Amino acid sequence: MAPPYLLLLFPLVIVLLFLLPASQASPPVSLQGCKNECGNITIPYPFGFEPGCFREGFRLVCNEYSNPPRLFIFDTDYEITDLDPDGEMQILVTATRACYDSSGRYISGTKTSIDLESTPYRLSISNYFFAIGCPNQGFFVDRAGNYVSGCVSACPPTHYSLDDPDMSCTGVGCCASPIPTSTWLSYYEPYAKWVQLQDFRSLRGTDPTIFSNSTSCTYVFLASKSFNFDNSYLSRINDFKVPVTIQWSIRSEGNCEANRLRTDFACRSANHDCYHSKSLAGYLCSCADGYEGNAYIPGGCQDINECELKDHYPCFGDCENTIGNYTCNCPRGFEGNPRTIDGCRKKDTFTLALKIVTGASVGAFIVAFACFWLYLGMQKRRLIRTKQRFFEQNGGLLLQQQMSSFKTTSFKIYSKEELEIATNKFSEERVLGRGGHGIVYKGTFEDGTIAAIKK
């Protein structure tokens, strides 16, 4: 029996388990209960290889007996090496081979065509058509036998070598041709033709030894742009496989809106986007921005935490995840662009309100200062007028008239300030005498004139 203290801790443990945040489950890839892997390839719905696990037309086959397991398109020998839920797939296809004897007579070969007519797949225009070996006139046709693309691979003259490790598909030993961008093929049939010497007779100066470097076998095939040619292919006499890119879509007539009300509409998850396939008649489904997962499954699109994916959703401030989105702000006390490095700078503490208050205060001070000086000016003018009035009331005008009557004598009337300066503010040291009508001071003016001043 467990100790009593353990029994007391048990309810606490249960409570803590409920309080722990639940980790976000990974978005579903396939339907519930269905296998979603074959070897190292993940198989998202609408693809599948078990009954009830795939949409019609998207059945695959997983050969689990091979090591490692290999994935194929159902009822074909096209091995899948890469499966992109956004409408692309890469398969392996055997190159068409034609081998000849020294006289140019066909002796053996392999013919490979691709037929995707009854499937939701089409050949991608990102593929290139290659012709390897020489002399080799390679081309391919569609189901109606119409020429689609091709090129000619010539042999170099005898003084050139096919062993050059830097050879490329430029027409000598190998050539490449793009597929017309307006062509989306469900059928592909290649041809390799041995080029006869007479085919070149119209070319002036053609070296008859141009065929002396011919290869034993020639190859023609369609391959993705990731295919890398090297001169080892020129000495091959056996079969080999090349990667081919194909596109897939939900085949349907009309646009997304026309299919949205149909019971077989493929976009089943909330928060999905439906868009037209650029390569095929039909549409594709994907999760909307801010979500990830499989839009072909109910509940397949789940919110992503953008704050944990800074490479795709840069945020160098305070990041907060929201449903289908996220917020990114500068830390408290900072401002700027938090989505760029060093985009947040320390916020100016001199806030707008403080700027307004400071500006108003300075303005009020200037107005008050101007009013004060205006007041002083008015007071000074008033004092001058008062002095003038007192001067006139105390016989100043009569004095000026008497002074002007003495035309030969110069008189000058001094201001109070000038008298204070001359007597050093009526200093006791300047007193000359005292009488019943005032005190007499010695005054010395700025021009050196000495006078007796009575106050």
Q: Running DSSP on this structure, what letter comes out for residue 21?
A: P
Measured N-to-C along each axis, helices 352-393 and 396-405 cross at an angle, to the nearest 10 degrees, of 60
Using the structure block, give the residue that is written with the tokens 């303005």.
Answer: 363
Going across the sheet that includes 60-63, the strands are 60-63, 70-73, 79-84, 88-94, 241-248, 121-123
Positions at the binding site for ATP: 455
C-alpha 452/C-alpha 429 separation (Å) is 14
Collect contacts of 448-451 with beta carbons under 8 A, ≥24 apart: 451/422
Residue type, 227: F
Contact 418, 405 (CB under 8 A): no
Going across the sheet that includes 282-287, the strands are 250-251, 282-287, 272-276
DSSP per residue, 23-46: PPPPPP-SSTT---EETTEE--TT
C-alpha 313/C-alpha 319 separation (Å) is 10
C-alpha 303/C-alpha 157 separation (Å) is 63
Sequence-ordered list of residues with C-beta below 8 angstroms from that of 440, at least 6 positions apart, any chain: 431, 432, 433, 434, 452, 453, 454
Q: Whats the size of the chain, residue-wise? A: 455
Positions at the binding site: 455
Sequence-ordered list of residues with C-beta below 8 angstroms from that of 273, at least 6 positions apart, any chain: 267, 285, 286, 287, 288, 295
Distances 33 to 30, 36, 38 between C-alpha atoms, Å: 8, 9, 15
In 3D, which of 104, 88, 164 has the Cα closest to residue 136? 104
Strands (E), 96-237: 96-100, 106-110, 114-115, 121-123, 128-132, 136-141, 147-153, 174-178, 187-193, 217-223
Give the sign of the dihedral formed by CA 207, CA 212, CA 213, CA 218. Answer: positive
Residue type, 413: I
DSSP per residue, 150-164: EEEEBPPPTTS-TT-
Element (H, E) at 347: none
